[in-house]
A and B are shown apart, each in its own frame.
Chain A
């Protein structure tokens, strides 16, 4: 199936040109896509943005934790339990009355994102868990400014992002994840390059502060992690390396390349070696 193009009039050469002239910005997500492969970056830039249920759930939990006062302006919980009971019968949702009521209710929601009441309850539970967790509560208190938009220039590109929480001496990023247990999440930090995201935001924010990550999962787990300065430094090294490779990709027009782009070998092949534990 062909991807639906978000920017059908632009070629990758046009996008590269816009990026070099500073008329288009990069982000952590864009760099992460490029780290996967140049082709993934093209897909990220060109394909129409699709909002998945998981993304909606994550942003809803973010909103309930960071900007709860704004929740009703952005989300609408569609709960038809009472209506179904009122209509009665075996299949109340198949009735004309229900369909008319649903159409009216959805129209009344306007631009707000419609969410399932069950999802809302889960997200609310996560938000309560984070606020009740003493480590997370401390970081939320330290960083009173939430969802702070930032823009910056690094080397020859412009970047943008949002800092989930900013304070006088610390910043934090909130992640709704599959498993917030400390051991698992610290692997996730490395796997997902969250330390690079931390470095990018420290740089973009213009001041070095302690950077924390709050991880929360659906099972009620909440863990808070302080990213060591050495880890942030490694993140900065990775940021720098990726920008270099991105520039090389522009100049070599390697946008069609998949994983071969990152191979150390000239022919793009990877060598599968025996891990140390086998010896």
Chain B
């Protein structure tokens, strides 16, 4: 008996064409991804001087973006609890995908410390100020909403505090490459007829005036074949005895 370890047959990975099987839908979703991954307007971005000058987008802007992009959204508070001296809130932000019409969501978590009286230690629970929970809990909820929304893309503040290397918008590039893929579409019969009857001088203008068919290999193949045909006719005419 062999002592070699048993090997499992590998499951093949899908190729990009499989993933793009629904090309129309994929292209539209990519449009949404492109929008979500646009950098936020510079005026929206604020700097938190109390957190090492980290950048953030205020909750008001985030809520405006949720309404503007998804039209419909709602927030579900999943949990609130006290960890050390901070109140933490876990939320689930639900939105309706404007392309598919289906509901989607992201979870987020936020925390805010319970404020203590001036001079007291942060963990001195005897000196917690009266409105600490009243102000801390909604603040934690706002952070949680922003944390959830950031996961949708850069427009919500994703990558705001990351190093440059990670801020590449490859969603846009993928969209560009996908739209460049050759299409299996048929050429219109009228266009085929035009090519079949074209003069040598018209071939370039037919190509130039129909950019929507440049991704269909047959288009250029027919033009090339017509060019060869015209040349053969011309050569035959020249070699024919008078």
Contact = CB atoms under 8 A, between A and B. Distances in A.
Contacts of A203: 177, 180
B180 A236 contact: yes
A21 B165 CA distance: 41
A228 B170 CA distance: 9
Nearest to B202: A251
Contacts of B16: 206-207
B47 interface: no
Interface in A7-24: 13, 16-17, 20-21
A251 B176 contact: no
Q: Chain A contact residues: over half helix, strand or loop, or mixed?
A: helix
Residue of A207, A244, A251, A252 contacting most chain B CB atoms (<10 Å):
A251
Interface residues of A, number: 31
A153 interface: yes
Contact of A248 (B170, B182, B208, B215): B208
Given A153-B217, A202-B173, A208-B174, A240 B180 contact: yes
Nearest to A210: B168
A202 B228 CA distance: 34
Contact of B177 (A153, A202, A210): A202
A154 B172 contact: no
B217 A251 contact: no
Given A156-B217, A244-B214, A248-B204, A233 B168 contact: no
Interface stretch (B119-127, B138-146, B219-227): B219-227
A240 B208 CA distance: 13
Interface in B192-242: 203-204, 207-208, 211, 214-215, 217, 219-221, 223-225, 227-228, 231
Given A155-B217, A155-B220, A251-B223, A206 B176 contact: no
A229 interface: yes
B204 A229 contact: no
B84 interface: no
B169 interface: yes
Nearest to B203: A251
Given A21-B221, A156-B221, A229-B168, 9 more contacts: A20-B221, A20-B225, A155-B182, A156-B182, A202-B173, A210-B168, A247-B214, A251-B203, A252-B203
26 contacts: A13-B231, A17-B224, A17-B228, A20-B224, A21-B221, A154-B180, A154-B182, A156-B182, A156-B221, A202-B173, A202-B177, A207-B16, A208-B170, A210-B168, A210-B170, A228-B168, A230-B169, A236-B173, A236-B177, A236-B180, A244-B211, A244-B214, A251-B207, A251-B223, A252-B204, A253-B227
